[in-house]
Structure 1
Amino acid sequence: MPIVEGNIRKMHASAVDGLASYSLPIGEHNLAIDPLIGQTLSVRWNGDIHCVHCNRKTRKSFNQGYCYPCVMKLAQCDTCIIKPEQCHYDQGTCREPEWGEAHCLTDHFVYLANTGTVKVGITRHVSDGISSRWLDQGATQAIPLLRVKDRLTSGLVETACKQHIADKTNWRTMLKGTPDDVDLAARKQELLALIADDIATIQQQQGLQSVAEVDGPAVAIRYPVSHYPEKIKSINLDKDGEFAGQLQGIKGQYWLLDGDRVINLRKYAGYHLHIEYQGA
């Protein structure tokens, strides 16, 4: 059986004609995962974890792959990344001003997505009509709502939206199958009407051009899954150290295996894994 090993990163996701495709960075390799569906995999963690930023060996990872020193000093690990409405760049207290300028002081999109229920979210890129953020969340439908001037403004808009709609993905619901389609274009217009006064206030604070509606239809996304779990059982590498079984699909950042088992690969970014698979 072919063998590949090394420290992993979150899966790379892209979509062609609406079909999601995945590869796993592991060591010096970039392992295509879609072709492995239907095959038996054997995965073992050797106990090592290396920070995804500085490569320092660490006993425990934080924020999906960082060592503690990096969590405390990197702008990308600050709480304002999770709560963008708390962006403090303009206060002169950004941990890494150059990183903030490149990643936060640029246009962002506020969107609606169907991940089992309709949710609001934020992304920096919508390449070829699909954001990798939507793929990471396992969305089967998505539509851009508004384009805003920076991350702080995206957080203010999302906060207004959260008064009327959820902003979290229920990962168990997402993994249990393909949800019914929703008329996202109609939901978009309903939400825009509900937050109109909030948007006017944000434009007064941030500038008239800080928020603009995005035209375009909703996109549909399919995932390479042959079988969805009925009763989800999470695999815990920290506890068990290894697992084996038939890969039955990939959705979001999850592998779906036989026996209704699932594993969130992103959770284990930085872990040194040894993977065996059947091969062609």
Structure 2
Amino acid sequence: MEFQGVCHKMHANLANHSVTPNHTEQANVEYTFILDRSKVDIPFSLGQSIEISWTGNIYCTSCGKKTPKSYSQGHCFKCFKTKAECDMCIMKPETCHYHMGTCREEDFAQRVCFQPHIVYLANSSGLKVGITRINQMPTRWLDQGASQALPIMKVGSRRLSGHLETMFAEQVADKTDWRKLLKGSPEPLDLLEIRDELIGEFQDQIEEISNEFSLNLDFNEDVELLLSEKPKSFIYPIAQYPAKIKSLNLDKTPTIQGILQGIKGQYLMLDTGVINIRKYTGYELIIRFH
């Protein structure tokens, strides 16, 4: 069976929801490959042989033009330099410069940056703090391969969430160690207890940041503590973690193949190595199942 198209990150969906005795909301993660921005229901399963080939073509996910190189996960150089979605503030929200009048795209700011955002705790390769738009839950957690997650604050803008994330990052990591992520499941954490400790420790700084942003009368940038949220737990389709982490690279080896042993975050775990599917956004791929 063969499928061909422009690669986008895999779509993750939750199934078999349940509540554990400790009141954690638990669900299984299911994946679908995305080619040409259409959900392709590829019938793959653990233990199946997969072959992924790159045709040598890359297409910009913004303008659609062919590009010799991918920038910022699937953009041509022109879009990389001009589109707001490729600005540094996407990676570092606290550097948002909309209030300075220098935003690249007004529409993007209204559609993305000034939508409600969540500050959350997660357990992926260990404890981390992160942010996401409210409509990107649980997608953001699943893309990062989080085994546990807990929303702790709701705010009115991306820049505000970035300042709070940076504040918490003084005590908690804000990045995932992808190698550790793929070596096994992390030890379970009491995210409710950690949340309460962090909010107590940073109470004065939270109030200071909240007061600063409340002066902006153009947008609702209040800070709301989410004390009634329950922890979330996610079970990924993994038959076996790799004994040794070997990264597979389509730029160096245009065709890779192996037996699918697991999926976590945006990584396929094969018996021959691991590959980050999101890294190849914009690449034209041929996917074969044997």
TM-score (norm 2): 0.91
1:270 aligns with 2:258: no
User: In the alignment, what sits opposite 1:10?
Assistant: 9
1:228 aligns with 2:244: no
Instruction: Give the distance between the partners of 1:181 and 1:98, measured in 2 at CA.
Output: 41
What is the Cα-based RMSD across aligned positions, in Å? 1.5
| Structure 1 residue matching 2:151: 3-state secondary structure | strand
Moved more, 173-182 or 23-32: 23-32
User: In the alignment, what sits opposite 1:211?
Assistant: 223
1:149 aligns with 2:141: no
1:65 aligns with 2:78: no
**What percent identity do the matched residue pairs reach?**
43
1:52 alignment partner AA = T
Q: What's the CA shift for 1:232? A: 0.3
| Structure 2 residue matching 1:25: 3-state secondary structure | strand
| Structure 2 residue matching 1:101: 3-state secondary structure | helix
**What aligned pairs does 1:156-171 form with structure 2 within 5 A after superposition?**
156-171=163-178
User: In the alignment, what sits opposite 1:78?
Assistant: 87
TM-score (norm 1): 0.94
1:45 alignment partner AA = W
User: In the alignment, what sits opposite 1:39?
Assistant: 48
CA deviations over 1:99-154 (Å, ceiling 9, x no partner): 11111011100000000210000011257xx5100000000000001111110100
User: In the alignment, what sits opposite 1:113?
Assistant: 122
User: In the alignment, what sits opposite 2:257?
Assistant: 244
**What aligned pairs does 1:97-108 form with structure 2 within 5 A after superposition?**
97-108=106-117
Instruction: Give the distance between the partners of 2:43 and 2:92, measured in 1 at CA.
Output: 33
Q: What's the CA shift for 1:230? A: 1.6
Q: Are residues 181 and 32 of structure 1, via their aligned partners in 2, closer, same or farther at CA, if it must alter by over 3 Å?
A: farther
| Structure 1 residue matching 2:44: 3-state secondary structure | helix
2:88 alignment partner AA = T
Give unpaired runs (5+ residues) of structure 2.
18-26, 216-220
Contact kept, 8 Å, 1:22 with 1:32, in 2: the verdict is no
Q: What's the CA shift for 1:180? A: 1.4
Instruction: Give the distance between the partners of 1:7 and 1:98, measured in 2 at CA.
Output: 26
Instruction: Give the distance between the partners of 2:38 and 2:84, measured in 1 at CA.
Output: 28
User: In the alignment, what sits opposite 1:253?
Assistant: 266
Moved more, 199-208 or 156-165: 199-208
Paired residues, number: 274
1:240 alignment partner AA = T
CA deviations over 1:66-101 (Å, ceiling 9, x no partner): 111111111111001111111111111110011111
**What aligned pairs does 1:121-140 form with structure 2 within 5 A after superposition?**
121-125=130-134, 130-140=137-147
Instruction: Give the distance between the partners of 2:283 and 2:45, measured in 1 at CA.
Output: 21
